[in-house]
Structure 1
Amino acid sequence: MALRKHRWSLVIGVIGCLLFLTAAVHSQVFVVGEKTATDQLSTEFTPTHLSLPDSRMTERGRRELVRMLVAEQGFAHRALPMGANLTLRANGPVEPSAAAYRELIYKKGTSAAPGDRVVVTALDIKGDRIILDLNGGPYVKHRFLRHIQLNDNPIAPDYGEQATGSRVTLVFNGPVPEISAPEVKSLLAPLIDFGVKTTEEAYANTLPAPLKDAVNAHEVLVGMNHRMVLAAMGQPERKVREQPSGDPNGAPYEEWIYGHQPQTVHFVRFVGDRVTVVEIAELGKPLEIHNKDEMAGYNPPAPTREIAMGDQQPGAGSGQAPPPTLRKPGEAAPPGGEGKVQFPTARIPAPPATGIPAATPMPDPRMGPQTAPHLF
């Protein structure tokens, strides 16, 4: 009887220990909530003050805006949420507000953290707003072939892609004005910093003021070199090479073509490393031709060549270098054999015999000892 009571007391003690350990484990659980996840999230916002034009955006301005902003890269000033719920008013606040912004980050997730690189992957202009998709946008691109099967085999596989991009909607008080790409970047400055210099911008800063303004305005002047044109217009859509230029020295020209109909088309002609002719063909207007120097007296430096070890300065030697030869230094050439291939005429004597004695055959042990024949 005493043993049974002892067993029951032991069982009760074990159960009590288990309950105590369970309570201790539950007391150490760390629950991450909205306040904990967004505690260090900065929601500071400073609106811009940029004067906007009154005229409505034209079709040409729309095309230029898409051309200059799509594929542009910048850095996020603040955390950007995934989805399409971010609205920025021109020279105004951002929506949602600070508390709702934290909640949106907590529920949707972060598309780009502060300081992360973002890329404008799509741009659309509708009514009073400009819609920009960043890092692929908030929706996965739909492909209708995913819904078609042949013999239970899908035509296009579905890899289960998930959208991780963001969308920023820039809203104006009225219709979208005739605004340029730098002005749109300035309006987006509270969210995205596009001020990081590219190699073209860094090169443009080294040029004189008139050329720097032309490069920033994406204009080509007669007299520019290849690097200036690339900084101003980027890579051309087409190139036409090796055409006669009419130069008496026989230098061919190369023509770079930007744009296509019905857009404005620029024809930039190079002779060597200089632009000689710029032709601008705009729809409904006569052809505009620029064939006079527009560099305002600035002459870009010519390409230089560094003399490396072993190279010889032009004109450093006296006359033409002698051709290579197998003769020793100071050895005279045979009469009449200068510049000709020389073949040996004397017979080369055969090497003397080395005098190695002929090897004697070894006796075969199976034949027994060799004895002289008996004479009878």
Structure 2
Amino acid sequence: MTMRKHGWALVVSCVVLLTGTVRSQVFVVGQKTATDEISTHFTPTNLSLPATRMGERGQRELVRMLVAEQGFAHCALPMGAGLTLHANGSLETSPAAYKEMIYKKGQAAGVGDRVVVTALTVKGNRIALDLNGGPYVKHRFLRHVQFNDNPVVADQGEEATGSRINLVFDGPVPDLSAPEVKALLAPVIDFGVKTTEQAYANTLPPLVKQAVDVHQVLVGMNHRMVLAAMGEPESKIREKQSGDASGGAYEEWIYGHEPQTIHFIKFVGDRVTVVEIAELGKPLEIHDKDEMGGYNPPAPTREVAMGDQAPGTSASGQAQPPTLRKPGEPVPSGGSGKVQFPTAKQPVAPIPPVPTMGSPTDPHLR
């Protein structure tokens, strides 16, 4: 009997221990899971640099040509001033430290996002470029200065959400032109493209990028890749999948119309599952196998829904009609949606005669 008690106690202890372990794995979100989708791929440049040192005139020219210039991020840019890029080299931070920086400070711009150069400074062996307002709020030092108990600059509660890239050279900053600085920044910012779709396509693997360049949709692409390859569709259709008991929905994007070649792109969630190409005079071409060459895009960020409001919000399964009642106000007795008429006629009081001048009922004439 004693051995049985000890055995049951050991089993209960193991179950409690495993339960606590599983709970900790489910509810704890760490740096690895938060930055798992961030790519650390980096391709350094190979640009010949001039031997002459940059003068004051060259600095003014860089400020004039680069400030307010727009580009697109080639990689995720962390908030703050901690990103350092060596000319014709790599990032100063390691891939692990780069992800840790984004995890702790936040992300100022994602891959393919538009960025604007808001400030440029040349000092020593580096060129500092502030993007999207930079890492600091303007007049951050004057916010601590008061005159007669009044702050010189009012604190509006603003927070800096921009980033800074320090372009570092082995010696003094050479006499570079604005296009040469753009070429050195190409691993992190692309100033050559004009749309976010083009910037996003440049970050994809060669197989997928080639398909986007020739306007081809592959099975396994997400909706952003399809937009980069084909643009916005002419029409969209949403329907429920046949045989799906849970009521799953799919979306079909249609490109082209007769007599042109028509492309039918079927999405389930954020993935292309079927591509049908109907060309005049040829049999229907169907692609339903993965064509991404082993590349797995990030987790889906888009779901296909059959409407703005889930079914079951009303008795008929449709959205509630507009009403003047406040939220939570009960429906009056007799139902809603119908005009309420009185059920019984109320007695109407007789209207007294209106006295006129000269009539016997006028008190002034009595």
Q: Tell me the TM-score normalised to structure 1 length.
A: 0.44
Q: Tell me the TM-score normalised to structure 2 length.
A: 0.45
